[in-house]
């Protein structure tokens, strides 16, 4: 249903959303060359990219509830938000693979199989791959709107994986990861509640 509506939306440009989505990444690129990423710049980048990925994923999850509950329709921008989120997931993963682990595949593989937070994070990334790979109009036509919608429900476990990944990696129980997890659970809970 959501997809069918797309073509009746007013023709609003989506490029400003893509551009805005790039701003955090550009700001960090600038910080690499001119600024100060703190004592542990690799961790700063890794955490920043991960957090921005979560923020955009949450924004994507918020679009339907915003429309249904408050009549604010951002549907037109959902793809831009989703792809931007995926960009930050990829950047987060690249920082981990290239800068944090220095492409030490043995250590990376050990992380993936031994550390639940890495396993869960990696699972979330894999779940997002088919979604990013079908985020163009032709893909929707090929697999059909209904199947496409069904496939894109994978975003729910993916976002949950992202939020849990964050909670599991910190020491003790600092507030921030719990706030993200809380928001994700609310947005997913809303969907369960709507269907009930």
Partner 1 sequence: MLLRHAPDLSEREVTPRDLYVNRRQILAGFGGLMIAGAGNVQAAVKSPFSTQETPTSLKDITSYNNFYEFGTDKSDPARNAGRLTVKPWKVKIDGMVGKPGDYDLDDILKGMTIEERIYRMRCVEGWSMVIPWNGFPLASLLTRVEPLSGAKYVAFETLVRPSEMPGQAGLFKILDWPYVEGLRLDEAMHPLTLLATGLYGENLPNQNGAPLRLVVPWKYGFKGIKSIVRISLTDKEPRTSWNIQAPQEYGFYSNVNPAVDHPRWSQATERRIGDTGGLFAKRRPTLPFNGYADQVAGLYTGMDLRKFY
Considering only 15, 105, 173, 193, the residue that binds partner 1 (CB under 8 A) is 173
Taking the complex as a whole, how short is the minimal distance between the CB of residue 99 and partner 1, in angstroms?
6
| Distance in angstroms (rounded) separating the CA atoms of residues 163 and 91 | 17
- By the rule CB under 8 A, 119 interacts with partner 1: no
Q: Which residue in 23, 107, 126, 185 binds partner 1 (CB under 8 A)? A: 107
Q: Could you give the CA distance from residue 190 to residue 93 in angstroms, rounded to a whole number?
A: 29
What would the two tokens of residue 147 be? 């199947």
Per residue, what are the HEC states of 90-150? HHHHHHHHHHHCCCCHHHHHHHHHHCHHHHHHHHHHHHHHHHHHCCCHHHHHHHCHHHHHH
> Using CB under 8 A, which of 11, 13, 34, 39 touches partner 1?
39
Q: Pick the stretch among 39-47, 74-82, 121-129, 149-157 that binds partner 1 (CB under 8 A).
A: 39-47
Residue 114 binds partner 1, judged by CB under 8 A = yes
| Site for partner 1, rule CB under 8 A | 32, 38-43, 45, 99-102, 104, 107, 110-111, 114-117, 168-169, 171-175
């Amino acid at each position: 249903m959501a997809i069918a509506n797309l073509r009746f939306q007013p023709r609003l440009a989506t490029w400003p959303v893509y551009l805005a989505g790039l701003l955090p990444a550009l700001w960090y690129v600038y910080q690499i060359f001119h600024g100060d990423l703190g004592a542990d710049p690799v961790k700063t980048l890794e955490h920043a990219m991960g957090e921005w990925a979560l923020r955009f994923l949450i924004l994507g999850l918020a679009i339907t509830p915003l429309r249904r509950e408050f009549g604010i329709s951002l549907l037109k921008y959902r793809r831009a938000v989703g792809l931007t989120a995926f960009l930050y997931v990829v950047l987060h993963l690249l920082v981990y693979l290239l800068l944090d682990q220095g492409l030490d595949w043995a250590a990376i593989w050990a992380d993936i199989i031994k550390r639940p937070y890495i396993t869960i994070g990696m699972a979330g990334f894999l779940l997002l791959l088919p979604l990013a790979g079908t985020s163009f109009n032709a893909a929707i036509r090929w697999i059909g709107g209904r199947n496409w919608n069904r496939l894109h429900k994978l975003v729910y476990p993916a976002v949950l994986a992202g939020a849990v990944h964050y909670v599991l990696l910190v020491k003790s129980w600092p507030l921030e990861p719990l706030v993200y997890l809380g928001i994700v659970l609310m947005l997913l809970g809303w969907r369960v509640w709507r269907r009930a």
